[in-house]
Structure 1
């Protein structure tokens, strides 16, 4: 349903919903979709008339694709996104085109995003592979799905202009720009997904970090570059420009073809003196042509964007009934692709908690864990993204290049990298220096190649992308076990069930041989007990606990030979961290909340205690009656996963 088909709210009346979402980017749309799936009514108001007109973020992590799968969006994203074979590597090149035959020659190449999902470690982490879809094409899919799940609840061109919080909720003023009318929205909670424009600053929320690292200019254009490029498997191209000594990035945008034959591209330009950012559009295009050697090449510019490179985290993520998500909570350099993915994952962390409180299944203290869990992850991601940006500068420096460097010296350095000597002609008597030059050139190549290889901290960061954990939180019951040893937490993900860890992936089989990922056992809004093959007492305890606490708790037994689901490859058994009579309690967002390595004398008591702690329950009684009387009470969560096919978007 389009927003124009939805009648405006009466100017003299208030909309009354449990959750008001301010902003219609990736954070707001994800929150809308997830909360709809959990039976929570929302009203989304976005000041923009439509979804993003900027390509902006594009790489979608495995975790994000899992979340999209929860709302039946993953298949649509995969259909439009870059084929895996065209996003398996990142490459570095000597510019793009020019008057020397060496222009465009490759300097180095490394695997990226798990080789498009083919890296066994990435395939073992999730049933979903990474994807790549520019935000200009992703957000329309998200908006369409959000409108399907919340008919009449998604409003673009509606701007939140003010709000007041009281003891029971938030009253916001929203302006319908198309009709030049305003109306009030009364909600229990307000989600600030507005990019930090109004709500956070109005509450006095500052940021921590660097808010002006560099000035950037991005140019989105159409051009046929197929004859100038090689390496169809490369997604992001880093161009070292010998004439200026700086580097720029070139990224394909599709939409119908990828690799060298992409119809659209984005180039990110910057330099240390910010000269490009001060140019008018015509001069920026001239700079683009000069930098890439596209002097007479046919191209059509769609949009030029000037922006600041930031690395900041909001001081607070929750203030009373207001929560900050996405760019309102953190802003990253694009190196690493953390911005969009973090926004989606913010909403995923918060949605089930809001639903649990609104449905009367949890205490307000559960909502405090949103900041406890997500701010630490965001701070780590921001710092890593900044480190990635610096790493690219260091790679340029390793070549002896930089702003103002001598072009001929830069070309000589490239020839040394390629093993073509030092790029200089030699006169008589040069032979006696050959041995020394060879050793020097070898050392130079080692240094340069190491600088390129080190970029795996950006393009192969599985430990950060997927293996992040929630430990400092009351929504996790620690078991006192030490953090598993990991020689490289950035690049290596160690699956396990230590409380706070993501649910390890494994392919299971049910009777009859139907195959599904263990993640599919976790239904939206429900906790899951995964017991060992001899854990019948935990299955019985889950049923009793669910009834006494009025909380959705399901339970299954999983083992290699016996259980409700079988583990044919012993993958789950290898990672589960419990014995045949033990159990793992998984939260609705598929993070481990608690575990018992073995059976216990009172399984009902142990499981009840864990859930009461995780949900901030004052006692073990049902909280439904209190919820029924609360303003903005909403319907029950659904019981079916929208996208229930086990193979959806999966790496088989």
Structure 2
């Protein structure tokens, strides 16, 4: 007989990594009792993620931790270099200022936040601290998730305390898996996972007291290493002081035993120098996505639902948006005002977005490694110089698309969702690179600085918000009354100003807790209760047949 944990959480989160802890923090912010099950006794000592996007930082802003995620020296430039080695030939350079300055990767006038440099171990520690600051959140480290049973009205999970080898049962209303793709929960659900192999890579983390003294290229965020056989590695800064990470590409599956780690680091710099390897490991670079994001009372988020190559930094950032989408829907359902379509909409909304980011990350990988193989690229010859110029110009041009695709981070929409009320106006172009702010239903509500020094985005979460746009706008009383009648929390904010009214081009705009518009109108709707019921998951209004998920399945396509 398994022991039973006496506290009964509303939600169990399996996996306390970058996304799992963020899920727990958001659930805590929404007041949902949550237990996190994590096998590791400490946060991850390493991780591939280095750069939370501006959109992820907007969700950090909701949690009040956006100012705690900046870990790199304020004066460290975000420059990118392509070279044969640090003391070898420079093929190309894109100079960029430090994070937060115009011109830096991840800087955008369309957001109150910027992409920041924050290695995954730091991210996990900061987010866990925030999660535990909510009294409704518990984190059980040193526990391994074993299995679960969905009883239809509850989920019973079995976990193993690794120190004692005891089994415990935890009963909850819902289960959210944030494990790796194809892990235990996904397997038990029997959900197929579609996967594309990209390559086998190897990371080597090392410490050097002053690497900048070993070369004349200056500080940079990333040094891309190109040799006779093409792009073979990237060297990236970890802390801007002594810690660095070298990633090696396209290793054979059985090639790890043959790898000389010290020689690889020395090759990157171009000569012998003092350093100490602290961590290293081989990993599979892949693009994978689950066929479904839920079954019954069990949901998948982050790497449990999708896994992408880290090229472009989409993996964790897509997972953070998963958490932001699912957390408020769980809250609404648990509080009784969310309808049956609400949780169903999670996978409908998020899976097409993951398809976009997976495709873009694979494209970024090939931008990095393709068409760089020239046997004489390191030779001191006229032909070698020509090939270095050709490769450098091509890689620098491609990188501008790879490093800051604002459309990927800000431009996706949920216009096909059953909990979004469509209108007849045209939808904005869905573009990988450029972002077009819009109040179109389903899309992220635009950021505008208000007169009192806050962003419009600061008005959103953890409740729905009705925006009255313009000093004299007084509409929406029917929506407020309808929301009150069904118990849906709704705040009302008056916003005005020339820029505000240019971006928010409808007098009335309803925004969800995750910052996406769910309805807009030039006047009060004739049936406010139908609108409120729709956005909370009842009485679905079907989207126009011309607006479907297929609009986002092909990267670069435009929604009609």
Q: Give the TM-score normalised by structure 1.
A: 0.77
How big is each residue's C-alpha offset from its partner over 1:141-189, in whole Å with a ceiling of 9 and x where there is no partner? 1112211224661111111101111110110101111232221110111
Contact kept? 2:302, 2:316, Cα under 8 Å: yes
**Which of residues 552, 577, 581 in structure 1 aligns to 2:505?**
577
Other-structure match for 2:165 = 180
- 2: distance between equivalents of 1:523 and 1:462? 22
- 1: distance between equivalents of 2:256 and 2:380? 25
CA shift for structure 1 position 114: 10
Give structure 2 stretches of 5+ with no counterpart: 541-560
Give structure 1 stretches of 5+ with no counterpart: 1-9, 98-102, 419-444, 561-569, 620-652
Other-structure match for 1:144 = 129
Other-structure match for 2:445 = 503
- 1: distance between equivalents of 2:114 and 2:60? 12
Larger mean CA deviation between 271-280 and 221-230 belongs to 271-280
Other-structure match for 2:529 = 608
- 2: distance between equivalents of 1:291 and 1:62? 31
How big is each residue's C-alpha offset from its partner over 1:363-410, in whole Å with a ceiling of 9 and x where there is no partner? 13200111011110001101100000011122524xxx2xxx356658
Larger mean CA deviation between 528-537 and 57-66 belongs to 528-537
- 2: distance between equivalents of 1:95 and 1:298? 16
After superposition, the Cα gap between the structure-2 partners of 1:494 and 1:113, relative to the gap in structure 1 and judged at 3 Å, is farther
After superposition, the Cα gap between the structure-2 partners of 1:458 and 1:115, relative to the gap in structure 1 and judged at 3 Å, is farther
Contact kept? 2:377, 2:385, Cα under 8 Å: no
After superposition, the Cα gap between the structure-2 partners of 1:145 and 1:272, relative to the gap in structure 1 and judged at 3 Å, is closer
**Which of residues 8, 28, 32 in structure 2 aligns to 1:16?**
8
After superposition, the Cα gap between the structure-2 partners of 1:342 and 1:185, relative to the gap in structure 1 and judged at 3 Å, is same
Contact kept? 2:22, 2:128, Cα under 8 Å: no
Contact kept? 1:35, 1:352, Cα under 8 Å: yes
Pairing 1:168-567 to 2, within 5 Å after superposition: 168-196=153-181, 197-210=183-196, 212-223=197-208, 224-229=210-215, 234-242=220-228, 244-254=229-239, 258=240, 262-271=241-250, 273=252, 276-279=255-258, 283-295=260-272, 297-397=273-373, 401=374, 405-406=375-376, 412-416=382-386, 445=389, 448-485=392-429, 489-509=431-451, 514-538=452-476, 540-560=477-497
Pairing 1:50-199 to 2, within 5 Å after superposition: 50-78=42-70, 80-83=71-74, 85-97=75-87, 103=88, 105-110=89-94, 116-119=100-103, 122-150=107-135, 153-196=138-181, 197-199=183-185
Contact kept? 1:542, 1:555, Cα under 8 Å: no
- 2: distance between equivalents of 1:524 and 1:117? 30
- 1: distance between equivalents of 2:220 and 2:478? 52
Other-structure match for 1:617 = 538
After superposition, the Cα gap between the structure-2 partners of 1:410 and 1:307, relative to the gap in structure 1 and judged at 3 Å, is farther
Contact kept? 2:483, 2:532, Cα under 8 Å: no
- 2: distance between equivalents of 1:214 and 1:173? 35
SS at match of 1:270: strand
After superposition, the Cα gap between the structure-2 partners of 1:412 and 1:476, relative to the gap in structure 1 and judged at 3 Å, is farther
SS at match of 1:573: helix
After superposition, the Cα gap between the structure-2 partners of 1:89 and 1:407, relative to the gap in structure 1 and judged at 3 Å, is closer
- 2: distance between equivalents of 1:114 and 1:599? 45
How big is each residue's C-alpha offset from its partner over 1:567-597, in whole Å with a ceiling of 9 and x where there is no partner? xxx222222132xxx211111111010111x
After superposition, the Cα gap between the structure-2 partners of 1:376 and 1:117, relative to the gap in structure 1 and judged at 3 Å, is farther
SS at match of 2:16: coil
After superposition, the Cα gap between the structure-2 partners of 1:87 and 1:493, relative to the gap in structure 1 and judged at 3 Å, is farther
After superposition, the Cα gap between the structure-2 partners of 1:302 and 1:150, relative to the gap in structure 1 and judged at 3 Å, is farther
- 2: distance between equivalents of 1:293 and 1:450? 24
Contact kept? 2:76, 2:98, Cα under 8 Å: no
SS at match of 2:37: strand
SS at match of 1:537: coil
Contact kept? 1:173, 1:183, Cα under 8 Å: yes
Count matched residues.
536
After superposition, the Cα gap between the structure-2 partners of 1:528 and 1:537, relative to the gap in structure 1 and judged at 3 Å, is closer
- 2: distance between equivalents of 1:137 and 1:447? 35
- 2: distance between equivalents of 1:270 and 1:448? 19
How big is each residue's C-alpha offset from its partner over 1:467-520, in whole Å with a ceiling of 9 and x where there is no partner? 22222211211112222347xx122111010111111010112xxxx3211111
- 2: distance between equivalents of 1:111 and 1:613? 49
CA shift for structure 1 position 454: 1.5
Contact kept? 1:30, 1:347, Cα under 8 Å: yes
Contact kept? 1:235, 1:251, Cα under 8 Å: yes
SS at match of 2:156: strand
